[in-house]
Amino acid sequence: MSSRVAILVAKAEADAVKVKNAILKAMQEVDGVILPEAAIIEPIVAQAAAAISPGGAAIVNTVYAWFEACAKLIDAGGAAAEQNLANAGLDVAAIASVKALIPQLKAAAKPA
- Over residues 79-98, the pLDDT tens digits come to 999 999 999 998 999 999 99
pLDDT tens readout for residues 28-83: 555 445 554 555 666 776 777 777 777 777 777 787 788 888 889 999 999 999 99
> How many whole angstroms separate alpha carbon 109 and alpha carbon 112?
9
What are the structural domain ranges in the chain?
Answer: 2-109
Nearest to 61 by CA among 98, 8, 19: 8
Average pLDDT, the chain: 76
> How many whole angstroms separate alpha carbon 100 and alpha carbon 103?
7
Overall average pLDDT of the 6-13 stretch: 74
> How many whole angstroms separate alpha carbon 77 and alpha carbon 71?
10
Nearest to 85 by CA among 108, 112, 67: 67
For residue 68, the model assigns a pLDDT of 85
Overall average pLDDT of the 11-38 stretch: 63
What pTM value is reported for the model? 0.54
For residue 2, the model assigns a pLDDT of 57
